[in-house]
Structure formats: structure tokens, C-alpha cells
Amino acid sequence: MASKWITAAPGIRFREHESRKHGVKLDRYFTLRFYVGGQRVEESLGWASDGWSLQRAHAELVKLKESRRTGQGPVTLSEARAQAKVARSHAASLKKEEARIAITLEEYVANAYAPWALATKPTAFVKEESHWRTWIKPELGALPLRAIGVEQWDALTRTLAKAGLSQRSLEYITGTLRRIVKHARERRIVSEAPPSGRMLGATAPKDNRRLRVLTPDELDRLLAEVKAHDPHAWRLVRFASMTGCRAGEAFGLKWRHVDLVEKRVTFANTKNKHSRTIPIGPDLAAMLSEIGPGDHGEHVFTNALGHAYKDAPLSFRAAVAVLALNEGRREREYFTFHSLRHGFATALAKRLPLRDLMDYMGWKVAAMALRYTHGDEKDQRLAVEALERIASGKRGKILPIMNRDVS
């Protein structure tokens, strides 16, 4: 049977536990009794073993009376507890928001930007990840996103310039950071827009064509030098030189995209978001047959450790240095991995009409293909002479067959 309620003081009651003690006395359960709007209210406080006492109960009752007198604050314990719960929830939300906006650049990239980029633009993220890992993370990764201002952007640009990187590289690397910050701004982590490349002095000429095309002998020597040190890298470089594919297309090629019977490969999720299929020759098909086919999900080209490539192989860059291919050259004449694509496109443009060239190389804009196609004076002269004959009334063949070099 529950014990009787005992009035300890005006407005304060308690009852004793049947057996449990607190100290030398039986444990006591306290309540408050008071009137609100003419109606009597009784509300529970708690056990003495939980910290309640007559003094604490009296102090709580005084606060409630003062609130009723002034009209400010809670007038019942339930109201006070509800307000306290809201306050705790608000404090927790503030703490969570403070932690959210205090996130470092490295944490944001790992937890927010990288998962989003991998899901929405996996091909482009390969290069962004390289920019991040090599340049941006060491310089700014430990800083809170909100602490990255123009001064930090300038410091990154100076670091890139001191490393001897080209203006185009400065533009690309700062562009990667700009996309990360824009992503954070859209999610209200930061409020300020990132500075433009012009503000940072990190812009490059619009025409960034590589002017260098290796001669067949130079290309043979390059491939031989790479093969002598790294057969895995040689396969990748040879494939790129014989297909003109983009670096990311070669790095991401998987066996499910290779058809050795029909001698063709498919580049999925390319730079312009469209897949394309190209034919390959018997020599290239034979090389691929030597290393595969592998499981559908496996990468075709892997390094000695079995990992897919993310950047141009070190042996390729070492071979370019050993053969002094860039010695004494201007920046736009430097030979890079992308130059393999440029050289192939230059040769292919002499053999394919514009539409076929665009389809093979994966260009959606004719202006890209026109960089590699050049008029032939002999063809132009034959055409003009034919039109002159028509104008003078000398009929015959309207236009001669163009004498295009397809050797």
C-alpha cells in the first residue's frame, strides 16, 4: 500500500517509499500544489534520492509564484519542462550548425563533395581528385571552409606558380577549388562566392591547342623507352597513341567495353557525357588479347600493383625527360600525355572527312575538328579551274575528283 501524503510546507507535499531508504530516512517523493487561474494544480518533482529536498522544492515553488506575479516565464512545471526541452533542442541544433559550418575543407571534400562528384561526374572527378590530392589539400585542406578567403586563394596560386606550373594548370587547379567552394555555397556552408580566375591571375589563353606532333621516329623511341622500364605503362601509352582517346577514357576503360571479336572499344561516360564506339586495328587488338580479356568490371590498363591509372604514368614522364622531347620548347610545344591525342587527331584528319573525324574523336562541335583539318591548295586550284570552265561555257566534268593524300 502506498504511504500517505504529508504536507511538508505550504504548497509542498511528499510521501515516503515503503522500504527504500535515502540516508537514514525513507526515500521521499515531492510534489507541488498551487493554483493557476482559480484551479488547483499538483505537479510532481521527484525523489529525494534524485536530488530533491524541501529546500529545492520551495525554491521551485517561489519561481513559479514569481512568474505568475510578473506574467513572465512558465507558471507550471510542465510548461517549464516543455520550454527547457525546446531550449535543449535549440542548443543542440545550434551546436550541430556550428559544427557544420566549422567543417574543414578536407572534411567537406571527403564527406560531401567527393561522393557527389563521383556520382554525378565520375570521369571529370579523376582529374579533380588529382588536383585536390597533389596541390589543394596540402595547402588548404586543414583550414575551415569559412576561413578560406582571397588571401588563401592567393597563397595557393603562388604555390602553383613557384612549382613552375603553366597558366593552364593554374586555371584548372583553381577551377577545381572553385567548384568545391560553389558546391559548399549552394549548401549554405559558406556565404561568399569564390574569386574568379581573372582576380587570381589564374587564367590562360582561350586557344590551348598543343602544337607539338611527334614524328614517327620520335614516337617509336618514346614507346621503346617506356616499354624498357614499365611494360604496363607502355600498353597504356601505345593504346592512347593508336586511338587518340582522352587520358580519362584510357584510365577508365574496362573489359566490358572491349570487343576483341569485332575489334572495337567503347568509351563510356566521356567528357561530353556521351559514349562512343571506335574500331581498332589488328595490332592493337592483339596487344589487348595478350593481357585479357579480364572480368567485365576490371580495368583494362593497370599499373604493376594492379591499380587503375589516375595520372600519366611516371615512366611516360621520365621517358619524355630522358629523350629531351621538351628541351628548348615553348610551353604550348611541350609534349604531354594529351599530346598523344593531338598527334593522332592530326594524322587522322588527313584521312577522314569532317563528320567521321568528329564521331571518332568524340567532338560535338565542328570547331574542334576544324583545328586539325587544313585546306589543300592543289584541291582548291582544281576546283577553281573547274568553275572557270563552267563560267566560260566549257562543259565537261563539273568538278574533278579531289586529289587528297590518303597515304
Give pLDDT tens digits for 21-47: 999 999 999 999 999 888 999 999 999
CATH number for position 274: 1.10.443.10
Please state, rounded to an integer, the average pLDDT across all residues of the chain: 87
Q: What average pLDDT score do residues 174-189 get?
A: 93
- 211: in domain: no
The Cα–Cα gap between 351 and 360 comes to 12
Grid cell locating 142: 586543414
Kindly report, residue by residue over 351-372, the tens digit of the pLDDT: 888 899 999 999 888 888 887 7
Tell me the pLDDT band of 274, cut-offs 50, 70 and 90: confident
One domain for residues 243 and 344: yes
Residue 311: closest CA among 291, 345, 336: 336
Clarify whether residues 236 and 317 are in a common domain.
yes
Whether 407 maps to a domain, the answer reads yes
**200/178 Cα distance (integer angstroms):** 11
The CATH number covering residue 187 comes to 1.10.150.130
Which has more pLDDT, 165 or 260?
Answer: 260
377-386 long-range contacts (CB < 8 A, ≥24 apart) are 378/403, 379/403, 379/404
Instruction: Out of 97-111, 179-193, 304-318, 332-346, pick the least confident.
Output: 97-111
Please report, rounded to a whole number, the percentage of residues in the chain having pLDDT higher than 90: 59
Same domain, 26 and 146: no
Give the pLDDT confidence score for residue 13 in this predicted structure: 95
Q: What is the pLDDT of residue 403?
A: 46
Say if residue 337 is in the same domain as residue 251. Answer: yes
The residue range of the domain holding 43 is 6-98
Task: Note whether 22 and 51 are within 8 A (CB).
Answer: no
Average pLDDT over residues 137-153: 92
Domain match, 20 and 162 both: no
Question: Which of these three, 98, 133, 166, is where a domain ends?
Answer: 98
Instruction: Examine residue 192 and state whether it is found in any structural domain, yes or no.
Output: yes
Confidence of residue 400 (pLDDT cuts 50, 70, 90): very low
Residues 230, 185 share a domain: no
Q: Given this model, what pLDDT does residue 222 score?
A: 96
The answer to whether residue 406 scores a pLDDT higher than 50 is no
Burial bucket for residue 277 (CB in 10 Å: 0-12, 13-18, 19+)? middle
Q: Is the pLDDT of residue 273 over 50?
A: yes
- Identify the band that residue 332 occupies on the pLDDT scale cut at 50, 70 and 90: confident
Are residues 303 and 389 located together in one domain of the fold?
A: no
- Read off the pLDDT of each residue in 66-72 and give the average, rounded to a whole number: 90
* pLDDT the model gives residue 23: 92
The residue out of 66, 98, 130 marking a domain boundary is 98
Q: Do residues 238 and 344 both lie within one domain? A: yes
Q: Would you say residue 80 lies in a domain?
A: yes
Q: Are residues 118 and 93 in the same domain?
A: no
Domain membership flag for residue 404: yes
Same domain, 120 and 179: yes
**Domains held by the chain: number:** 4
Q: Is residue 158 part of a domain?
A: yes
Inform me whether the pLDDT recorded for 308 exceeds 70: yes
**344 and 251 in a common domain:** yes
Residues 380 and 256 in one domain: no
Question: Does residue 206 lie in a domain region?
Answer: no
Q: Is residue 36 part of a domain?
A: yes
pLDDT of residue 398: 46
Confidence class for position 199, pLDDT limits 50, 70, 90: confident
Average pLDDT over residues 164-189: 91
The pLDDT of residue 206 is 58
Distances (CA, A) of 99 to 91, 181, 187: 12, 17, 14
pLDDT at 10 over 90: yes
Contact by Cβ (8 Å): 244, 344: yes
